[in-house]
Amino acid sequence: MKELVPSPPPIVRNDVAAVQQLFQQHVVPSYGRFDIVLSHGAGSYVYDVTGKRYLDLGGGIAVSALGHAHPAITQVLIEQSRRLIHTSNFYYHEPQGRLAQALVNLIAPGKCFFSNSGGEANEGLFKLARKFGHDEGRFEIITAQNSFHGRTLAGIAATGQEKVKKGFEPIVLGFRHVPYNDLEAIRNAISPATAAVLIEGIQGEGGVTPATPDFLLGLRALCDEKRLLLLMDGVQDGHFRTGRFQSFQRILENNSAAGSNGQHSVAPANGSAAFAGFLPDGLSMAKSLGGGFPMGAFWVRAPYADLLGAGSHGSTFGGSPLACAVALKVLEVIRSEKLEENARRVGDHLKVGLQQIAHKYPEVIRNVRGLGLMLGIELTPNIANLPGETHRTQAVKMASLFHSEGLLTIPAGAQILRLLPPLNLRQNEADEGLRIIEQAAHKLMNGSY
């Protein structure tokens, strides 16, 4: 195939300080950033402006589903941008309709709304829940402690972590937090005003904690019993990352035979995401959906799909022809390259390798958890000889240590590092990551940092 864009020129400058100064002077300092100035990427690797190469096992926080500079994404960006980048939602266009159809076919009968981010996708779910309960005066949404649902005002209200709310009071009303994986706590938190429950299938920012099958199945039954919407935030753990389209499918796959007696009233369509009779009523998506192109969406199950009528919700950019064409291409590549299977195979390989390292170096790694290519490395408290400024968390110090060895990972909380790499990560790249992690653990134990 003809090369569409020339490869980027090799970078030989070292203007780290100059770029950082631009940020210090002109960019709102709301992020804690590492001292790395990235220049370009290819596949599972990114390069900084000094030419240093990093294996990107962070994947831009679960976004770069096809890795960096994938030719199919480059091609669709060029082709679609020549045709039509933006229309506004006053008009129809084919890519949005086709993407909605593709997502509905992956989940179950229903409809989709398109946004530009995960936070906005969740805002849509909050509005859906409010509309659902409105005429009965129900508006409350129960979410989990340690959850993360975005940085909008309602997103921080929904998020079960105090640190994101601090300084932004008064907090949007109508959210209650209960311990994750605790069905009784949800039952006890339900009030006459409750309209919905929102959970992640695997808590991401909260430290890579999967829901248990019993919790998911019990929650579906409870929501049916109490007439509550069951909403799932699939922003981080969705889009085939766990080896299934949605993490709840992976979590419930061993229960699927047991549940085929149709516990839940929804008759799943062919190819429906329902497992063991489990299907949420609404699902938010973002991150890998656009493979790096900013986009989000929510799906809502058929009986509720027309709750948000004309004029009730919107977004200028949401579901643009360009974003939808890219997302369709990402789906096509995931299918044609069987990346769902790859995520399972390479993810499971990575997890076993990490568990072996944890076994060998318990002074450094306490636990490894997660599914497919969504893995969490829980660090052992008070790792000896870990370099870094004292006020930094262990996770940040360890991530910095990995940077020095040419590896990108993503901190989650104070003690956990996440691996959320491209879904097309190769086994030899996973092995390279394991080597770097093991070598770092070895050097830490030797005191050679």
Ligand X SMILES: Cc1ncc(COP(=O)(O)O)c(C=O)c1O
Residues that bind ligand X (CB under 6 A): 61, 117-119, 122, 148-150, 200, 204-205, 233, 235-236, 286
Q: Closer CB to ligand X, residue 204 or residue 413?
A: 204
Q: Closer CB to ligand X, residue 47 or residue 240?
A: 240
Q: Listing from the earlier edge strand, what are the strands of the sheet with 282-285?
A: 110-115, 296-301, 282-285, 229-233, 194-200, 140-144, 175-178
Q: Closer CB to ligand X, residue 149 or residue 244?
A: 149
Least Å from the CB of residue 327 to ligand X: 14
Q: Closer CB to ligand X, residue 56 or residue 205?
A: 205
Least Å from the CB of residue 286 to ligand X: 5
Q: Closer CB to ligand X, residue 110 or residue 234?
A: 234
Q: Closer CB to ligand X, residue 395 or residue 441?
A: 395
Whose CA is closest to 73, among 295, 325, 281, 273? 325
- Report how far apart, in Å, the C-alpha atoms of 96 and of each of 86, 101, 115, 333 are: 11, 9, 11, 18
User: Amino acid identity of 395?
Assistant: A
Q: Closer CB to ligand X, residue 283 or residue 434?
A: 283
Q: Closer CB to ligand X, residue 150 or residue 411?
A: 150
Least Å from the CB of residue 122 to ligand X: 6
Rg of the chain over all Cα atoms, to the nearest angstrom? 22
Whose CA is closest to 159, among 148, 168, 151? 148
The dihedral through the CA atoms of 258, 261, 263, 265 has a sign that is positive
Backbone angles phi, psi at 209, to 5 degrees: -115, 115
In the bound state, the residue with its beta carbon closest to ligand X is 118
Q: Closer CB to ligand X, residue 49 or residue 232?
A: 232
Q: Closer CB to ligand X, residue 96 or residue 117?
A: 117
Q: Rounded CA gap, 237 and 241, in Å?
A: 6
Least Å from the CB of residue 312 to ligand X: 21
Least Å from the CB of residue 159 to ligand X: 8
Least Å from the CB of residue 287 to ligand X: 6
Helix ranges (H only) for 65-202 are 71-83, 94-106, 118-133, 153-158, 162-165, 183-189
Contact 441, 357 (CB under 8 A): yes
Residue 210 tokens read as 């999967």
Q: Rounded CA gap, 281 and 235, in Å?
A: 15
Least Å from the CB of residue 364 to ligand X: 26
Least Å from the CB of residue 447 to ligand X: 36
Least Å from the CB of residue 205 to ligand X: 5
Contact residues for 219 (Cβ-Cβ < 8 A; gap 6+): 183, 186, 197, 199, 230
Contact 160, 145 (CB under 8 A): yes
∠ at Cα 259 (299, 284), nearest 5°?
15
Report helix angle 94-106 to 321-336, nearest 10.
Answer: 40
Contact 299, 122 (CB under 8 A): no
Q: Closer CB to ligand X, residue 190 or residue 286?
A: 286
Strands 194-200 and 53-56: unpaired
The SS3 call for residue 274 is coil
Least Å from the CB of residue 58 to ligand X: 12
Least Å from the CB of residue 234 to ligand X: 8
Q: Which string of DSSP letters, residue by residue, matches 341-386? A: HHHHHHHHHHHHHHHHHHHH-TTTEEEEEEETTEEEEEEPSS-TT-
Least Å from the CB of residue 204 to ligand X: 4
Q: Closer CB to ligand X, residue 161 or residue 272?
A: 161
Q: Rounded CA gap, 436 and 420, in Å?
A: 16
